[in-house]
Structure 1
Amino acid sequence: MGYAEKRGKIYRARYKKLDGTYGTLPDKYGTKRLAKVAADAEEERIKQAGLAHVDPRGGLMPFGEWAAEWMGAQTKRPATTSRRRYLLRTYLLPQYEYTPIGGFSWPEVVKWAKTTDPASEVSIRQAISLLSTILTAAIDEKKIKTNPIFRRRWDGHAQPADATPRVWAHPAEVVQISERMQTEAEELMVLVAQFTGMRYGEICAVHRTNCLVEETLRVNHRSHTFRVIRIDPKTGAWHEDTEEKEEGGERVVTYLGPPKNASSARVVFMPPFLVERLERHLVSWPHEFVFSTPSGTKWLRTNWNERLAPAADGRPGVPAKEMPPTKWQVIAADILGQVERGTLRPHEVTPTLVEQARAYEAGRATVQKAVNWLAAQGVLDTSGRRTIVAAGPAHPGAPVTVVPEVESWEPIAPGWRLHGGRHWVKSAMEDGDELGALPVVFQRRQLGHEFKGIDGRYTHIMLQSIKRFTALMQRHWEEGISPTDWAAQDRLPDFSQRVEITGSGARRMKLVRRSGATGAHSSVG
């Protein structure tokens, strides 16, 4: 039975819930009789509603508190969790953290959305969708009765910002972009994306054991074998996600994991020119992953885009310039000066690394670097137990770091990134060949798109579709290359003359020595 509970000068209505515990109505009453009537009425509603009864106080829970509880119960992929945290932290919590979950209305949400930056319209749509998901979960927990924004769609700003469509490019343009890449592996990444439609994460995760795998189809007692890339269902994609740190903030987490969906674990068919290029690449490539960095590590998306962006968007030229000397170069120049002035004579033992580090106020590794350079130039002899001044007549100039000149590039397809290759492959398959568009089932299987329903279950890839696709991509490749290109001459491009860009756009520095007599520069490393 319900009862009235006195709290100072007012009364609260306490009622018995289905689990035997007591709840409290949010309203306050001036008399004991009114509180008792309200408690009995609530118990009657519970008996009639049964398990469908909604806690009257549940709607008073702040949105921020419920969102934290709901997020803690989710087991989604790290990328999904990271995106949800971003939407909550950036959009929803600043606006609705202390709003009761029962106090939302669609007009109020639209009013808030209109005050946001038009450039964030996509994120705002995602935030509203997440808000609806969280409120629907509150209904499931019997905290609120209805979700006022369920299946509501915001039409966006009245004057939407100019949307930047996903840039895609024709094969001839992509071939030119690929020729600007720094290594053969990078060039192949561009070509694989353009002529197979693979995702960036899938390309980065290709292991040797899954590259150029033989896929055999048997038709009319005849075997037809194709060389394919196999995307593993467990480790077929390279992921970059964020996770919260215990001390606050977030950090980037990278790992090999499943591809985007179950349909993305597939075999990817390739045109003959790509098969040939990959065969030649694997012969000389020393690393496990086919499209890794030159050192064998996997790409971070930001670093990869720093490589690709200048090739597609163009870049200004940068003249060669001399950099200020580093600490080890200053030490090397000083020791060299002592030798030239006769302060250090031939066969004389030089101070130890510890003594020199103390004298130059530098670390031992820095002094060691200077000694190694001087030994390479024949100034010092480090072959014995102690370092001595060499007896030879070597007189190199002081070490100088010079940034080589960088050639300017005209834009080819500004804004093009690897995902643009998926757009072009899809368009090319729709455009098709002389027989028309390729079958939808092949298009979806090649791109790793889900294909549900009866058609997805009972439609399969046929031999003719594979042959049409490989021939179509080969034809577009041949139309995209120039007659004087390396492929027409049956030779690989020369990568040795290309300027390497590493890190955050920093160009590889080349160590040169300056001749004391003429001031000319010559390469030493």
Structure 2
Amino acid sequence: MGFAEKRGDYWRGRYKRSPGVYATVTDDQGNTIKFRTRRDAEQAANDAEAQVRSGAMRDIASGRATFGEYANIWYDRQDLAASTMQNYRRRLEEHLLPTFEEDALADITRKAIADWVKKERAAGYAADSIRSWRALLHLILADAVDDGRIMVNPAAQRKGRGKRGGRSQHRGAEKTITTALGVLLIAERAALLSGRDDEFAAVVSAGFTGLRWGELVGLETKYVRPGALRVEWQLYELDNGQFHRCPPKDGSHRTVVTPDWLTDLLMGQIRQTRPEPCPCHGFRYVFRGFRPPNHAAQQTGPKLIDVARHAEVAIGTASAVLNDRAVVAEATRARVMAAIEELGYRRGGQTGMAAPHWRRNGFAMWLFRPAATGGYPAKAPRPARPVPVEADPWPGVPVRGRNAPSRADACWLPIAPGLTPHGLRHSYKTLMIELGTPATLMDAQMGHADGSVQARYSHVTDGMTGRLLDGLTEVWRAALDERRKLSSLSPVPLLDRLLGEETGQ
């Protein structure tokens, strides 16, 4: 649809000439026509665009339509999930159109496609990414065959053509996983990086339920129930920064059974944060977003480390006072409480406004990855670097601000290099296998569908569920015991309380 554009004391008409390309209404000599009114400019622009479309359709009918013209028509008639439409558009605009946009459909050959694949591979793109772009090209050209635009699909490949026999050459790198103790330690570090308990509860929940990232971010408070989580929705982050509320991947609505200790953890998170309806969708979500850690130094309000310094005690001692641990002397307790009162400290990192939802990239880059690897990633102009920490209390509190490395006592060692938030889902599946969980129950927990005949005769029983929950509880308690051997205190208030409860303090 054409539109009018104000240019000083006149209007000009603008219309779409091809996907992503707009032109101006001109006269026979190529000069811009200056319209006196907006309506005249819009009418001329619509007429010009109609002529372009009719010409494109004539080209299509004669088999000489360009790939760009057909791709535009093909995309407009798709009716898929917002996330899929976004991925298709990105792959088209960034990888397919730059090479094939001006080529007639009938002129696209197997050699041209093979040359394009080699070019993308030489540019350093991952093999999985190139395959996904080629798959979209195959899909578009297959529809062009069905529409009668071309006779054959040049992107079609015979299985095994031009490849050596044996194992598949398309296997991706092995996914990094971690143990229950690894989940706990990464969760603790993530909470230290953010300065609040939210990230501890979130990482532990992901590691012991196998929720996908979108399902974790989109977990609403009403779906946290005794002994279970109900997965009804996910939040998918679009390129424009908005969050699209949609059903879980592959329609995997399910009830994920959870041990009592995890239910208590999530209920405590809800009680502490008291979530308000988000401005995006009007629903209450268990987890709130957070600004990147490199902005933490700019946050207003004192932190726990400020309270400890003001009271001249260790951070672990200040945390023990907040958690009402009996191990602290009364005089020290009074000094810490006085510091809290004087500084106006608020527990749980609730100083300032939290974002409604986590950004996937920000969470992975500035919270999860440093927690798992012990280092911040490279981001221009700064190179990759270790996380500088104060050695006391263990495992070390991140030091921020100018000249942080020189003020730090140590840095974190890696826990699980290469681990991603999605790797927690793989870790949970592996943990269930270790616990001897039947495949039927594992599929129910993960949201996977098994279409085999055997699966139709397999059902989840209370006995299966009970054994899985008992196993998860045993593994969690063992992880806490191992963590307690490293240090009986934690600068993360939530974990510090858990460690104290297990020892009866």
Give the TM-score, by structure 1 length.
0.57
Q: Which residue of 2 aligns with 1:126?
A: 132
Does the alignment pair 1:241 with 2:301? no
> Take 2:132 and 2:369, find their aligned partners in 1: how far apart are those partners?
28
Residue identity opposite 1:420 in structure 2: G
- Aligned with residue 113 of structure 1, among 113, 117, 121: 117
- Assess, with a 3 A threshold, how the Cα gap between structure 1 residues 459 and 163 changes in structure 2: closer, same or farther: closer
**Alpha carbons of 1:171 and 1:145: their partners in 2 closer, same or farther (altered >3 Å)?**
same
Alignment check: 8 A CA contact 2:178 2:424 kept: yes
Give 2:148's aligned residue: 142
* Unaligned 5+ runs, structure 2: 1-58, 276-283, 290-349, 376-385, 390-398, 497-505
* 1:423 aligned partner, one-letter code: H
Counterpart of 2:250 in structure 1 is: 261
Q: Which residue of 1 aligns with 2:296?
A: none
* Bigger Rg, which one: 1
Alignment of 1:471 with 2:470, yes or no, is yes
Matched-pair contact (CA < 8 Å) for 1:91–1:124: no
8 Å contact 2:370–2:387 — kept in the other structure? Answer: no
Displacement of 1:80 in angstroms is 0.8
Q: Is the contact between residue 228 and residue 256 of structure 2 (CA under 8 Å) also seen in structure 1?
A: yes
Change (3 A) 1:274 1:321: closer
For residue 313 of structure 1, the aligned residue among 368, 373, 385 is 373
Residue pairs, 1:29-40, within 5 angstroms = none
One-letter amino acid of the counterpart of residue 140, structure 1? D
| Equivalent residue letter for 1:275 | T
Give 1:479 deviation, angstroms. 2.8
In the other structure, the counterpart of 1:446 is 445
Structure 2 match to 1:186:
199
**Structure 1 CA distance for aligned equivalents of residues 171 and 125 of structure 2:** 8
CA contact (8 A) 2:82 2:244 kept: no
Q: Is the 8 A contact 1:58 1:144 kept in 2?
A: no
Partner of 1:176, secondary structure, is helix
Which moved further from structure 2: 174-183 or 422-431? 422-431
Kept after mapping to 1: 8 A contact 2:181/2:483: no
Out of 342, 357, 360, which is 1:298 matched to? 357
Is the 8 Å Cα contact of residues 128 and 170 (structure 2) preserved in structure 1?
no
Distance in 2 separating the partners of 1:275 and 1:172:
19
Q: Which amino acid aligns with 1:238?
A: L
Q: Alpha-carbon deviation of 1:481?
A: 2.7
Q: 1:322 to 1:135 in 2, by over 3 A?
A: closer
Q: For 2:162 and 2:201, how far apart are their aligned partners in 1? A: 40
Answer yes or no: is 1:460 the counterpart of 2:459.
yes
Identical counterparts, % of pairs: 25
Deviations 1:2-24 (A, max 9, x none): xxxxxxxxxxxxxxxxxxxxxxx
**Structure 2 counterpart of 1:66:** 70
Q: Which amino acid in the other structure matches residue 153 of structure 2? A: N
Task: Give 1:492 shift.
Answer: 9.8
Q: Does 1:272 align with 2:263?
A: no
Structure 1 residue 469, shift from structure 2 partner: 1.7
Alpha-carbon separation, structure 1, partners of 2:449 and 2:400 = 53
Please say if 1:426 is aligned against 2:435.
no
Q: Within 2, Cα distance between the matches of 1:269 and 1:68?
A: 45
SS for the counterpart of 2:428 is: helix
How many aligned positions are there? 338
Offset from partner CA, 1:433-467 (integer Å, 9 cap, x none): 3xxxx322211111112233545555432212211
- Could you say which residue in structure 2 is the equivalent of 1:40? none
Task: Name the structure 1 match of 2:396.
Answer: none
Alignment of 1:297-446 (within 5 A): 297-305=356-364, 306-315=366-375, 316-318=386-388, 408-433=411-436, 438-446=437-445
- Cross-structure match for 1:482: 481
Q: 1:207 to 1:441 in 2, by over 3 A?
A: same
1:171 aligns with 2:180: yes
SS in 2 for 1:123: helix
SS in 2 for 1:297: coil
Contact 1:289 1:296 in 2 (8 A): no
Q: Judge conservation of contact 1:292–1:298 (CA < 8 Å) in 2.
A: yes
Aligned to 2:493, the other structure's residue is in SS state coil
C-alpha spacing 1:75/1:297, structure 2 compared with 1 (3 Å): same
TM superposition shift of 1:231? 1.1
- Aligned-residue CA RMSD in angstroms? 3.7
Letter in 2 for 1:165: E
For residues 430 and 303 of structure 1, what CA distance do their matches in structure 2 show?
Answer: 31
